[in-house]
Amino acid sequence: MTQTAPCDTPPAEAAPSPGARPPRSGTAAQGSTPARPSARTGPADSVAHLVEVYDGAGWAAVCRLDVLVPGRGVAALLPCGTQAAVFRDRAGHVHVIGNRDPFTGAYVLSRGLIGSAGGMPFVSSPLLKHRFDLRTGRCLDDPETSVPVFRSRTR
Amino acid sequence: MTLPTTPVPPAPGAVTPTIVLVGHGMAGQRFLEALAERGTTRRARVVVLCEEPRPAYDRVRLTSYFSGTTPDGLALADEQFLSRHGIELHLGDPAAAVDLERRTVTSRSGRTLAYDALVMATGSFPFVPPVPGRDSAGCFVYRTIEDVLAIEEYAGNSCRTGAVVGGGLLGLEAAGALRGLGLDTRVVEFSDRLMALQVDAGGGRVLRRTVEQTGLRVHTGVAAERIVADERGAVKSMALSDGSRVETDLVVFSAGVRPRDRLARECGLSVGERGGITVDARCRTSDPHVFAIGECARAADGNVYGLVAPGYEMAECAADAVAERFAGNGPSARDGAPRTFGGADTSTKLKLLGVGVASFGDAHGTAEGSMDVVYSDSRAGVYKKLVVAPDGTLLGGVLVGDAEEYGTLRSLTGSVPPVPPESLILPAGADGPGKGLGPAALPDGTIVCNCHHVDKGAVRAAVSDLGCTDVAAVKKCTKAGTGCGSCLKVLGQVVDAELEVNGVPVDSGLCGCFAHTRAELYEIVRTLRLTTFGALLDTHGREEARQGDGCEVCKPAVASVIASLAPAIGAEGHVLDGEQAALQDTNDHFLANLQRNGSYSVVPRVPGGEITPEKLITVGEVARDYGLYTKITGGQRIDMFGARVDQLPGIWARLVEAGFESGHAYGKALRTVKSCVGSTWCRYGVLDSVRMAVELELRYRGLRAPHKLKSAVSGCARECAEAMSKDFGVIATASGWNLYVGGNGGATPRHADLLAQDLSDGDLVRLTDRFLMFYIRTADRLERTSAWLERIEGGLDHVRDVVVHDSLGLCDELEALMAGHVANYQDEWAATLADPEKLARFVSFVNAPGVPDPSVQFVTEREQVKPDLTLLSGPDIPVRTTDAALEGTAAR
């Protein structure tokens, strides 16, 4: 039961500078420094395997599915300016939650290790190792705390 | 020469009896230890007459002299053993005559001792076949340290070729030694195969091929007919029975041994027809005051055993018998019935020239109606044969090339295995080794510990009836596993299985995904050559965790195991290769250290803390250009803080160009080898500590371990490098390096323990190789060497036995693993920069690679940056006091 996290509140006081936000279309941003090899910002013909995230206002393409290393996450900048953590598990499911670790305030959850316990997928924060349920966003070590969950689809 | 002794306190009101031991070999030393254990050394004067010029040493490991073990390193007893127990040892003074009537023994130097009990432990002598020319210069036998030293000295005399007469166990050992001396070496064996006593024809073929691959030349089915000497009387060549003639500068005879029973014959003791002093099951000879043990004795079953285990057993029996005689009114030496020795299991497992060889039970299938089950893969150099009775009982077997299953198979010998015999020897992958062979499958009568003859029923009883809850308690209670130790694995399984039956929770599993410990997973990965986490989880994970994603505990732990075994199991070498990238903690994943605001710190390697001005300038320039906070670390390096993920490649491109490598501050790996300035500059220094620190750091850089590893080298006893607080620390002395292990700073400081002293450069490196690899192999996850040393069964003594005395026969393998690591080392950052796919991961946002993470911002303090935490807008950053919390912090 995936719940939608609308992007109605700005994620952080440190909003990215204007123009830094990626466009809402499926094509990847052409940043100002395109020097880096960009396997992840694939050509248009790979649209069929594109991971998209719903940020409350619409679907935003994030990356090609094959860019996601199973068991690992990446951070994505949603059009509304919020940061999402996008994971792919071994079974091939994609999970998207907010990238901010509520315990430290740092935007690092995408860099945590994911795992599963009794069929429940989770990510462990790389900072203080709190675990978050990837389906509900609930913190397993502190039920009072949770992170937003985003809907995703692969096309 | 006589070692210092302390006087024996005489028993009150009694004349102190005298026990004389003739021969201070392995069995003799064990006899002395057994006497001491029984308190007899306090009640009697014990005198030892020893022919060799040195106290008892480990003859079995003689060959390790050529791989760097010093003669002292082979010593069996510590220096204080003899003096502590008031034992008089006369070296270089063998017994020359015994007078049974007057009960005296006279030594070669004329010393006459009256004895109340005499124990013969004269061992055996190498048999030299009556080949003409066998007395030429350059002909040797292979039995004592003196033989080995003489061979080495002669070989150094411009010898290029060598030949060993005899292709048995000792012959192959000797051949390996000659090869180690750089001689082009051949082995001449009279029978049709190598190790004819232990292996059959099929095993012999595989063994021969593997041995030849190591560079030795093998002649079988021929005899040495004549040794030809030159005009100076030195060996020049050898004529063989097939008419050929081989050039050789040196000949070693290793054609079997014969019991040394001359002294016994001359004094009138009964000896066997084919030699050996006749003894009964309590090791008593035909004279009531004389005992014989070890290779000079012909046991009650009529055999003369040339193996050390039966020798040890006889030593214990004789000690029981002697102790009983001098027990006086004191407490009885030992509880229970006296031990007897009726015969021995001649099963053997050994590693010869790197080849695992084992034979057990009826290896040659001599029993009536016995049948074979054979698996042979000559391509892989593996041969396994089981001998099975018509009713399915396992009678024995031969293993060549892969002797891993020896322990289990030997335990099953004499019973009907619970699974078809072929599944016991099929390689991994087919059906898995020993599948279905849990300890529960063993019948109660199965002998678990052969040294102490403890069966499975006794082990179970110790757990269920006597309340033992772990292997340590069972060892104490039953003595199982306290002999050679080869049964410990099976013993542990039996104990755990029994605990489980009793409902005692024994979940020592790594995490919710694996019921195995890290050390067990290491063995599984190593033996089955599993190169991915997925394969390990799906085959060896807990049922409920299979096909899942693992967890943050097991993924990095398994990644570390795979990384440290990568060269040996053929896994990809880079921590970001393939699936491994998904297993690493964020620090390893970005090859940098995550800080509290999501930025990273960067620590280039500065081996030994030695750095050129040019490199210092580069570090300064990089830090300035990227606006990084710089700090000198406790490990003599420079840490640069505040880099965003997307800046790391640019920073490292400049560092690599300037000649820097990754410092692995982010990994559970070797950090730094700190050093003082050493003898080059310091007026007190005795050795060049900087050179050694650099050498060690470059050798072990990148080595993945259960936890981080720190080291230091001090150039003198002033210890400025604080080596005693390191996982392995080195301190120079006037006579070489002292190696300390298991030190720790931090929250629970621990002074390191001395592992070995006065080492040469080569010995230091070799011992360190072994120590580190043994730690990596057996430690728990996140267990520093200090905690490991405290926890591991037997503690420092055990570790020393394993890495210095090679008690488990592991050292070759440990060294080979380290050699693999050294040969396969690559700088992780240089490799990453050269790989566009890996590099592509270093972005803040997958969908906006050029956009920096806006949440990583800094403010200035004391002229440098620090994280702007107000931007993170969360509650105050909580401080968790668990170890886990420390992992995310900077490298200390």
For position A123, which CATH number holds?
2.102.10.10
Most trustworthy range by pLDDT among B446-460, B563-577, B711-725: B711-725
Q: Mind listing the pLDDT tens digit for each residue in B612-631?
A: 999 999 999 999 999 999 99
Q: State the CB neighbour count (10 A cutoff) for residue B853.
A: 24
Please, what sign has the CA dihedral across residues B800, B805, B807, B809?
A: positive
In the numeric block, which tokens belong to residue A92? Answer: 């091939």
Q: Which residues pair with B860 in a beta bridge?
A: B865
Minimal CA separation from A100 to chain B, in Å: 9
DSSP per position, B76-122: SS-THHHHHTTEEEETT--EEEEETTTTEEEETTS-EEE-SEEEE--
> Partners of B355 in the beta sheet?
B352
At residue B445, the pLDDT reads: 75
Q: Is residue A27 part of a domain?
A: no
Two structure tokens written together for B497: 């299985």
3-state SS of B263-311 is HHHHHCCCECCCCCEECCCCCECCCCCEEECHHHEECCCCCCCCCHHHH
Confidence of residue B484 (pLDDT cuts 50, 70, 90): low
φ/ψ bin of B642: left (φ > 0), alpha (ψ from -120 to 50), beta (otherwise): left
Rounded to whole angstroms, the Cα distance separating A142 from B600 reads 27
Q: How far is CA B169 from CA B223, B255, B352, in A?
A: 17, 10, 8
Three-class SS state of B884:
helix
B780-795 per-position pLDDT tens digit: 888 899 989 988 888 8
Asked if residue B201 has pLDDT above 90, the reply is no
Distance from CA of B513 to the nearest CA of A (A): 8
Please check the confidence at residue B451 and state whether its pLDDT lies above 90.
no
Cβ of residue A127 closer than 8 Å to a chain B Cβ: yes
What is the SS3 assignment for A131? Answer: strand
Pick from B271-285, B302-316, B445-459, B793-807: least confident: B445-459
B739/B761 Cα distance (integer angstroms):
11
Q: For testing the chain A interface, which of B846, B856, B872, B879 should be mutated: the one with the most A CBs within 10 Å?
A: B846
A98 with A109: CB under 8 angstroms?
yes
Contacts A–B by Cβ distance under 8 A: 193
Q: Which residue has the tokens 């049974």?
A: B100
Q: Is residue A63 part of a domain?
A: yes
Least confident of B230-244, B263-277, B299-313: B299-313
**What does the alpha-carbon distance between residue B526 and residue B508 come to, in Å, rounded to a whole number?**
20
Contact B226/B245 with Cβ under 8 angstroms? no
pLDDT of B883 over the 50 cut: no
Burial class (CB within 10 angstroms; exposed 0-12, middle 13-18, buried 19+) of B147: middle
CA dihedral B703→B704→B709→B712, nearest 10 degrees, is 0
Q: In B169-283, which residue ranges form alpha helices assigned H by DSSP?
A: 169-180, 201-213, 262-267
**Nearest residue on chain A to B552, judged by CA atoms?**
A113
Q: How far is B868 from chain A (nearest CA, A)?
A: 11
Determine the residue of chain A that is closest to B838 in CA distance: A37
Return the residue matching tokens 């985003």. A150
Q: Report the gap between the CA of A3 and the closest CA in chain B (Å).
A: 23
Tell me which DSSP letter residue B479 carries. Answer: -
ipTM of the complex: 0.78
How far apart CA B608 and CA B762 sit, in angstroms, is 18
* Confidence at residue B11, expressed as pLDDT on a 0 to 100 scale: 43
pLDDT digits (tens, 9 = 90+) for B515-542: 888 989 998 998 888 899 999 999 999 9
The distance in angstroms from the start CA to the end CA of chain B is 53
- The CA distance from B431 to the nearest CA of chain A, in Å, is 26
A101 belongs to a structural domain: yes
Closest Cα in chain B, distance from residue A113 (Å): 6
The pLDDT of residue B480: 82
A18 in contact with B, Cβ within 8 Å: no
pLDDT tens column, B792-845: 888 899 999 999 999 888 999 999 999 999 999 999 999 999 999 899 899 999
The first and second tokens of residue B28, run together, are 């003799």
Query: Does the pLDDT of residue B554 top 90, yes or no?
Result: yes
Residue from A129, A133, A141 to probe the interface with B (highest B Cβ count within 10 Å): A129
The mean pLDDT value of chain B amounts to 86
Contact between chains at A90 and B534 (C-beta distance less than 8 A):
yes
Which residues does chain A have within 8 Å of residue B855's beta carbon, measured at their own beta carbons? 12, 14, 83, 100, 106-107
- Read off the tokens for B668: 């559970």
Reply yes or no on whether the pLDDT at B892 is more than 70: no
* 3 state DSSP class of B585: coil
How many structural domains are present in chain A?
A: 1
Burial of B281 by CB count in 10 Å (0-12 exposed, 13-18 middle, 19+ buried)? middle
Q: What pLDDT score was predicted for residue A140?
A: 87
Token pair listed for B859: 């403010």
In a domain, A34, yes or no: no
∠ Cα B557 B562 B567 (to 5°): 155
Distance linking the first and last C-alpha atoms of chain A: 20
Pairing of strands B235-240, B224-229: antiparallel
Identify which of B254, B294, B65 has the alpha carbon closest to the alpha carbon of residue B167.
B254
- What mean pLDDT do residues B394-400 have? 88
B576 CB-near residues (< 8 Å, 6+ apart): B584, B589, B591, B828, B832, B838, B841
pLDDT recorded at residue A113: 94
Residues of A in contact with B888 (CB under 8 A): 126-129
Helices (H), B400-454: 406-412, 422-425
Amino acid sitting at position B76:
L
| Residue B592 token pair | 């940098």
Q: Could you state, in chain order, the average pLDDT of each consecutive group of 10 residues for chain A (155 residues)?
A: 46 43 46 37 51 89 90 91 93 93 92 91 92 93 88 90
Q: Is B38 within 8 Å of B319 (Cβ atoms)?
A: yes
Residue B8 pLDDT more than 50?
no
**Is some CB atom of chain B closer than 8 A to the CB atom of A124?**
yes
Can you give the pLDDT at residue B448?
80
How confident is residue B646, by pLDDT bands cut at 50, 70 and 90? very high
Which residues does B96 contact at the CB level (< 8 Å), separation at least 6? B106, B107, B108, B263
Nearest to A116 among B548, B848, B857 (CB): B548
* Percent with pLDDT over 70 in chain B: 92
Crossing angle (nearest 10°) for helices B169-180 and B145-155: 40
Q: How far is CA B409 from the centre of its chain?
A: 22
Whether residue B594 and residue A126 make contact (CB cut-off 8 A), yes or no, is yes
Give residue A19's pLDDT: 44
Instruction: Spell out which residues of chain B touch residue A67, defining contact as CB-CB under 8 Å.
Output: 846
Cβ of B839 within 8 Å of Cβ of A37? The answer is yes
Domains, in order of start, for chain B: 18-125+259-325 (3.50.50.60), 139-255 (3.50.50.60), 347-436 (3.30.390.30), 438-504 (1.10.10.1100), 518-584 (no CATH), 585-667+857-892 (3.30.70), 668-825 (3.30.413.10)
A95: containing domain: 49-154
